[in-house]
């Protein structure tokens, strides 16, 4: 089953022998080697069952094909997205003019709202209407999101499994690529950490931008973490159930959300509260122009996260009341 899982990862753009990204870059397929080490004592029945489920899910993750993005489908679904973004989330996106008009660009966002993240919806709608659906635009998402039944339509929007290879292919095609380095760790952070940028030291996006010599455009969103009461990431629970080793899932979030009440895992999603979502796109950062011909990855990472945190603080100061904005 592990062989099958590795094969599935490879098909989906994950290098079966690990990635050029440093450990900790959760959004780009980290901890592969750790998982492959496995145990020499022989798996317990529970571990075998979980690995079976893991393999089944791995097989469900679709083969990453950038051609699956369908501009006509996106265009026809814009009105539905607009209704949801305008009426439910009262979305507001500022600074889209900071994104270069053409050419590849790495959009780096903070991620909020659990598995029903509204900032992605609001931003992708704004991007598609501002630049037109003809501009190639891909979003990297966790494997489990793409494996979830009923979410296959996301591939038509240009959503592909988060891996270094997929990101590289998308940038090489001249597309704009949206990544959320904080990934599952950030999106499920407790509500009282709502106004904190938390990339967990994942610097893969900096190396990606340097390797392809593309600018980084930070995208800061607020409001997503007010769509439910997020209590805990459940990292201990995830470790206990070996989800981190089997599904690259380092969290098993616990929240209070509509309609479930106590919501463990958020696997079935939830109905997000109608919190106002505000997104601010910051000026483009040309890494070599700003940090010299051989930029220090840690320095760039600190600069990006600090700038985003300052913007998030300013957006938080604008908000008078939770949810209402």
Q: Judged by CB under 8 A, does residue 221 bind another protein?
A: no
Closest separation in Å from C-beta 96 to another protein? 7
Q: Judged by CB under 8 A, does residue 80 bind another protein?
A: yes
- Window contacting another protein (CB under 8 A); options: 107-115, 127-135, 176-184, 217-225: 127-135
User: Where in 40-69 is the site for another protein (CB under 8 A)?
Assistant: none
* Mode of pairing for the β-strands spanning 137-141 and 176-179: parallel
Q: Judged by CB under 8 A, does residue 89 bind another protein?
A: yes
Q: How many residues does the chain have?
A: 325
Alpha helices (runs of H) in the chain, residue ranges in sequence order: 2-11, 32-37, 45-60, 71-83, 118-131, 143-147, 164-172, 183-187, 204-212, 235-240, 243-247, 287-291, 297-318
Burial 26-40 (b: 16+ CB within 10 A, else e): bbbbbbbeebeeeee
Burial of 9 (0-12, 13-18, 19+ CB in 10 A): buried
Q: Judged by CB under 8 A, does residue 91 bind another protein?
A: yes
Q: Judged by CB under 8 A, does residue 132 bind another protein?
A: yes
Binding characters for another protein, 14-33, by CB under 8 A (x = yes): --------------------
Contact 154, 83 (CB under 8 A): no
Binds another protein (CB under 8 A): choice among 23, 66, 82, 239: 82
Neighbours of 103 (CB within 10 A): 11
Nearer to another protein, 216 or 277 (CB): 277
Q: Judged by CB under 8 A, does residue 78 bind another protein?
A: yes
Q: Judged by CB under 8 A, does residue 130 bind another protein?
A: yes
Q: Is 69 helix (H, G, I), strand (E, B) or coil?
A: coil
Q: Judged by CB under 8 A, does residue 75 bind another protein?
A: yes
- Window contacting another protein (CB under 8 A); options: 16-24, 87-95, 109-117, 295-303: 87-95
Between CA 181 and CA 301 the distance in angstroms is: 11
Q: Judged by CB under 8 A, does residue 136 bind another protein?
A: no
Q: What value, to the nearest 5°, has the Cα angle with vertex 242 and ends 239 and 248?
A: 90
Residues that bind another protein (CB under 8 A): 72, 75-80, 82-83, 85-87, 89-93, 96, 122, 125-126, 129-130, 132, 134
């Amino acid at each position: 089953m592990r062989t099958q899982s590795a094969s599935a990862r490879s098909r989906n753009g994950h290098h079966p022998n690990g990635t050029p990204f440093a450990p900790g870059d959760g959004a780009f397929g980290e901890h592969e080697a750790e998982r492959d080490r496995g145990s020499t004592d022989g798996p317990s029945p529970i571990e075998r069952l979980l690995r079976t489920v893991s393999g089944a899910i791995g097989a469900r993750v679709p083969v990453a094909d950038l051609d699956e993005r369908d501009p006509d489908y996106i265009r026809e679904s814009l009105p539905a997205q607009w209704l949801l973004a305008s009426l439910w989330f009262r979305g507001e996106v500022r600074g889209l003019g900071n994104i270069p008009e053409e050419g590849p660009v790495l959009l780096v966002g903070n991620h909020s709202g659990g598995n029903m993240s509204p900032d992605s919806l609001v931003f992708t709608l704004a991007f598609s209407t501002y630049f037109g659906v003809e501009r190639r635009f891909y979003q990297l998402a966790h494997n489990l999101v793409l494996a979830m039944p009923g979410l296959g339509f996301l591939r038509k929007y240009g959503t592909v499994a988060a891996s270094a290879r997929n990101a590289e292919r998308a940038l090489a095609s001249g597309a704009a690529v949206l990544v959320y380095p904080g990934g599952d760790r950030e999106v499920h952070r407790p509500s009282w950490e709502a106004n904190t940028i938390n990339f967990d030291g994942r610097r893969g996006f900096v190396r990606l931008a340097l390797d392809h010599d593309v600018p980084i455009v930070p995208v800061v969103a607020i409001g997503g973490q007010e769509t439910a009461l997020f209590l805990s990431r459940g990292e201990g629970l995830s470790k206990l159930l070996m989800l981190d080793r089997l599904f690259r899932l380092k969290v098993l979030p616990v929240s209070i959300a509509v309609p479930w009440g106590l919501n463990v895992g958020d696997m079935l999603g939830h109905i997000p509260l109608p919190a106002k979502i505000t997104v601010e796109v910051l000026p483009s950062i040309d890494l070599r122009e700003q940090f010299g011909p051989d930029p220090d990855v840690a320095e760039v990472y600190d600069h990006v996260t600090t700038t985003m945190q300052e913007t998030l603080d300013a957006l938080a100061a604008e908000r008078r009341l939770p949810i209402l904005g």
